[in-house]
Structure 1
Amino acid sequence: MSLITITTIAGKLRGHDVGATISGNGNYVFYTTGWDVGRDDPRFYDEDLFRVDLQTGATIQVSHKTSQYGASWYPEVSDDGQQAAYTLLEGDRVDTAVTNISNGVRTTVSLNPAGRPDNGVNTHVALSGDGRYVAFASDATDLTGTPDRNGVQDIFVRNLQTGGLVNASTNSNGTQLTASSNSPELSADGHLVVFNNGSQIYAKNLLNGALTLVTTNSAGQQGNGYLSGSGDNGRHNLAVSDDGRYVVYASSASNLVSNDTNGLVDVFRKDLQTGQVVRASVNSSGQQYGDIQSVGDVAISADGRYVAFTASIASAGGPGLYLKDLNSGAIMQVAANTINAFALSSDGHKLSYLGTTADTHESRILLATVSSDFGKPSLTSTAGNDTLTGGAGLDTAIYHGNRSNYTITVKDNGVVTVADKAGVDGTDTLTGIERLHFSDVEVALDISGVAGQAYRIYQAAFNRAPDQAGLGYWIKQMDNGASLEQVAKGFLQSQEAQKLYGAAPGSAALVDSLYHNVLHRAGDDKGFAYWKDILDHNPGSQSQVLASFAESAENQAALVGVMTNGVSYTPYTA
């Protein structure tokens, strides 16, 4: 099964600069390009910003020039894809602007307190995930109305709701930093702005004014190298997770983590809560690359688990765009020959980027969709007897025959044997393996975990054995974080449940049905009264009660014989 699907979003692009970004929810891709341009004079910058709806395929134009010399560059978008911030070129002005896509209103952000254009150049745009705050770099001296005398570029953050503007490149006492600042990034709620300042990276908490040096090791010692990545004109040589906890960046420092001896630029993730630093640019075994070069842009998923970066790693596929799962250690090359201009969705599974055709070298905007199976450990059975041992997380053993060709036995100590009836694959001994993959079906062994809960809630809700496709769907939802009560609520809202229990069953009727459908007996007086009282006082707790019946010791004991050697299901892949 391929872990990556590549889709062309837009082709035959042209212009001074083209780039791509994706909304946090993964539903929209934005890019800049010239539109029906009839001249090749590079003095005419005429790029506009466009948005592609990945659900409908519809493309709309977001920005519109009002000057012959105009362009919209380096877009940043809100998580819902309804607002876009960008660097706006019009005439001799370089400003920061935001367009509200729902009403088409464009707001110039880089205005002084009098509401007039500032006296500087404004670049390096960032937009908070909620669309409320815009950060940008500017060398203007009249943006805040207070003296700006450091003579360098600073980071400013505008509250789009109140109009308030603050200079973020200051220390905790409000004194301006002396080095030039650029490349701001905002947390999803805008409370934290992270930026380059000189040769270091700082995080500014806009709620309490605290300024934190990011480029340190876990002991608080400053990194002994230089920062890397493009960082020019709004590219991303640093990134921050949605909650502001993690910052990722590239550095040549050798003292940020232990055993960094390659003498090269690597990608690091800093935990601002614990101080821990981990190196992201390592192979799946945690070993450093001795041939990593040309590290460029970086990105991080909302929860900090996935880190994407551009680099050239000869031993891993050459130059390209890489994605690292810091939980499992897995790493993959998502696309080859992609140097810059990419973005990562909040869940870490969609990447928009700028690519070129091999024959005509035309620029294209591409979307890479990474399977949710990326990062999941898997072990493949070979001919003969194998011993397969899983680790932390969800582990899968892969078999190339049909399920009917094997005998699965789960022993009392949890050890599983999988025996090939034909003798080709022998008898394998499995420890710590939760799932089995066969050519025609999957088998879940985690009957005390997600798969067991999914099976029991299914049987409890409908008073029947789950169909394999339906079970696969709910196992997938729970693997992705859905709670047992959320699943129970989904079942109760289904047409099948409403036919079984009624559209609006009373407390007594529902409890009576659950006793008969789940436990296959009448309710004892004490138990019946207990559950009825819960529903009487909280009618919205029906899903909680159903989940409790499903996970009761009595129901689990009744299903032991059915589930002991695993349950078969059809994997849900949408």
Structure 2
Amino acid sequence: MFAFNVSYADPTGTVSGDSAALIQNDIAGAMRWLGRYIQGLGSLEVVATTASQGSSSFLAEAGPDAFGVISRLPSGGFLQQPGPAYELSTSRDPNGTGTDFHVTINSDRMSQFWFDPTPDDLSDRPPSSQTDFEGVMVHEIMHALGFTGNRQLDGSFFDADRSPYDQAMRLDANLGWVYDSEAVRAANNGNPITIDSTHGEGSRWYHLAVSNDLMFWAASPGIRRGISDVDLAILHDNGIQSVTPDAGNNVWFGSTGADGMVGREGDDHLYGLSGNDRLDGWQGNDLIDGGDGFDTSAFASSRAQFTISGSTGNRAVQDSTGIEGRDTLRHVEVLQFADKTLFDLAGSDATVARLYSAAFARAPDAAGLSVQIDALHAGLSPLNLSQNFLGSAEFVARYGANPTDNAYVTALYSNVLGRVPDGGGFAVQMDALAHGLSRAQLLLNFGESPENQAKVSADWLLV
């Protein structure tokens, strides 16, 4: 949550006292609605007014009354955060003692609104002929917090300054104009989100082109749109911090570093983004997206209590008792149960993991494998890493500093096949070493053998 103050004035004189109270209460309710998902420092000062704009004009509009400078851009302009977002993330108010953002409500369309007498009860719905005023206010507040920038109607910019939203806009060859960021891709199944690039002043660029989203360019009567994960991802891109999960249904975005978060009782959506994250859903039916990095999700009970389905990078984990629910895991490499750790890897990542079985006759430890995969992603090849295994302290302690070819090949057979070599197979491997095959390549070959792949897949590597 965050602190705020809402004031409302009606210079048109067309709003009754009772309606004015409802308007102010619903705007405050909209702020609290957002406060279920975001938190911050400072205190936001909101001024709402009614103005006559004509019956064919907008329902309402809002925007920040100042911007805070984040950094200088190569173009010579500045990356500027909307003032309310800047204050929430830094506690510094770029507008000083002035208001942080304004909301203007069109008095000529006031009859089209449904004012919620219980704004904190989000189960209410407006009548089929009226538009949810509180939802419109959340929409407008989102403009002040992040859905705003410096682009003109024709697509050009007023000057060299940009907002975070401006920086994330691009023209996609297939989708048209989109908003594209790591957080939005996490929230939108790996895809950017399309934005409105066709409608008029006040709509184009800073609305989404998704008809069921709260930030769609047009309001619809009779429905109450919720705040989507994509909406919150865009606020995250503006530096606004997610609330720490509580017993409710939470949406949480991590940082570019190593994050740790527990979702608690609700049906939570946890997005780790970059970094090696530890994300635990706990109770509820949770969505856990590790993003980039080597990510872990832990479960309190034993492996036998859970059913795992799906494919690499996209798993469903079902608790048979129902206590921990059914979790969807995306881009999570380590599944840690009370009695066993499983790894969800493919390609070269899995190749490196299988080296542990071939070299040491054991499953990887999560911390060590994280180091190896980080090195792989930094540019080392599986063969480079295989050579590193041969020089490791564990290898030397197990086999000696310089084991004979005979001892080395015998150890590989024991580790992978669980037996002494057969005469023919042993001769083939010894001959390969004698004719120039490196020990690192032989270790890699044993690691990728059908026997080793079957062995680890039956034990600790998900397939």
Q: Please identify which structure carries the higher helix content.
A: 2
TM-score (normalised: structure 1): 0.33
TM-score (normalised: structure 2): 0.39
